Amino acid sequence: MIALWVGVITAAVATFLTMLVLFYWSLLRSLYPERLRTTEVTTLTTGDIWKLRLCRYRKGRTTGEPVLLIHGASSNQHNFTSPEGFSLVDYLVARGYDCWTIDLDLRGTRSSVAPFEQRRTDATLDGMLLHDLPAALRHIRRSTGYARIHLAGHSLGGMLIYAFVQAFGSEQIASVVTLGTPVGFDALNLRTPRVALFLVKHFPHLCGNLIRGTVPFNLLLRRSPPYFPTNIRNLHPKLHTGHFMALIEDPLPCVAQELAYWAGHKIWRMKRGTLDVAQGLKHMRVPIQAFFAPRDRLVPVAKAKEFFDALPTADKEMHVLSRENGCKEDYNHCDLAFGRYAAHEIYEHVALWLEQHRSAQRISQEELGTDGADFLAPLAPARRAEILSGQSYAHLSQGSLAGIDAPIPRAVEPMLDMQDEALDLMQLAVADMAPSPEPKAPRARKTTGRPAGGKASARRQPAGKTKPPASSGPARPRAAVKKGVKRAVAKDAAPAKDSAKRGSSGKSVDHLIEVPERTRRALNSAAAQLRELDKRGKK
295 against 107, higher pLDDT: 295
Burial of 345 (0-12, 13-18, 19+ CB in 10 A): buried
In tens, the pLDDT along 204-239 reads 888 988 899 999 999 999 888 878 899 999 999 999
Which helix H or strand E contains 150, and what residues bound it? Answer: strand 149-154
pLDDT band, residue 129 (cuts 50/70/90):
very high
Task: Please report the pLDDT score of residue 227 as a whole number.
Answer: 80
Secondary structure (DSSP) of 65-90: PEEEEE--TTB-GGGTT-STTSSHHH
In tens, the pLDDT along 43-77 reads 888 888 888 889 999 998 777 899 999 999 888 99
Task: Please report the pLDDT score of residue 301 as a whole number.
Answer: 93
**Percentage, residues of the chain above pLDDT 70:** 66
Task: Please report the pLDDT score of residue 85 as a whole number.
Answer: 93
Assess contact for 316 and 279: CB atoms under 8 A: no
Task: Please report the pLDDT score of residue 390 as a whole number.
Answer: 54
Give me the sign of the Cα torsion angle 213, 215, 220, 225: positive
Task: Please report the pLDDT score of residue 417 as a whole number.
Answer: 47
Angle between helices 156-168 and 133-144 (to 10 degrees): 80
Radius of gyration of the chain (CA): 37
Q: Does the pLDDT at position 113 exceed 90?
A: no
Distance CA 38, CA 53 (A): 12
Secondary structure (DSSP) of 395-438: T--TT-STT--SPPPSSSGGGGGHHHHHHHHHHHHHHHHSPPP-
Task: Please report the pLDDT score of residue 350 as a whole number.
Answer: 97
Distance CA 379, CA 128 (A): 35
Task: Please report the pLDDT score of residue 374 as a whole number.
Answer: 38
In tens, the pLDDT along 454-497 reads 444 444 444 444 444 444 444 445 566 556 656 665 665 555 44
Task: Please report the pLDDT score of residue 223 as a whole number.
Answer: 87
Q: Does the pLDDT at position 539 exceed 90?
A: no
Assess contact for 533 and 477: CB atoms under 8 A: yes
111 against 152, higher pLDDT: 152
Task: Please report the pLDDT score of residue 89 as a whole number.
Answer: 96
In tens, the pLDDT along 376-423 reads 344 566 655 655 555 544 544 443 333 334 443 443 344 434 445 555
Distance CA 497, CA 416 (A): 6
Q: Output the pTM of the full model.
A: 0.67
Residues 140-153, mean pLDDT to the nearest whole number: 94
272 against 412, higher pLDDT: 272
Task: Please report the pLDDT score of residue 407 as a whole number.
Answer: 42
18 against 443, higher pLDDT: 18
pLDDT band, residue 167 (cuts 50/70/90):
very high
Give me the sign of the Cα torsion angle 142, 143, 144, 150: negative
Distance CA 460, CA 448 (A): 10
What structural domains does the chain harbor? 20-368 (3.40.50.1820), 379-434+470-538 (no CATH)
DSSP class of 202: H
Distance CA 417, CA 522 (A): 16
In tens, the pLDDT along 319-356 reads 999 999 999 999 999 999 999 999 999 999 999 999 99
Distance CA 232, CA 529 (A): 83
Task: Please report the pLDDT score of residue 205 as a whole number.
Answer: 87
Task: Please report the pLDDT score of residue 193 as a whole number.
Answer: 83
pLDDT band, residue 520 (cuts 50/70/90):
low
